[in-house]
């Protein structure tokens, strides 16, 4: 593999790691609130007082 190609692959892997690291837990929370055995309140319902 060419050195420039290896650098581009390495950069792409680093970007993928960063994206995964910052989106994994929020995605789990989002899908956990929207799926499951019983309907869950939306985030808007959670933050609306007295509705």
Domain boundaries, the chain: 3-49
Tokens of 37: 């055995």
Greatest extent of the chain over all pairs of C-alpha atoms, in Å: 63
Tens digit of each residue's pLDDT (9 = 90 or more) over 5-45: 999 999 999 999 999 999 988 888 888 777 766 666 777 77
- Which residues, at least 6 apart from 40, have a Cβ–Cβ distance to it below 8 Å? 32, 33, 34
- Which residues, at least 6 apart from 45, have a Cβ–Cβ distance to it below 8 Å? 51
The three-state secondary structure class of 24 is helix
Cα 45 to its chain centre, rounded Å, is: 22
Please give the model's pTM, rounded to 2 decimal places.
0.54
């Amino acid at each position: 593999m060419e050195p420039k190609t290896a650098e581009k692959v390495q950069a792409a892997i680093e970007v993928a790691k960063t994206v995964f690291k910052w989106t994994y837990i929020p995605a789990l929370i989002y899908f956990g609130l929207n799926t499951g055995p019983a309907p869950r309140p939306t985030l808007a319902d959670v933050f609306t007082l007295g509705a």
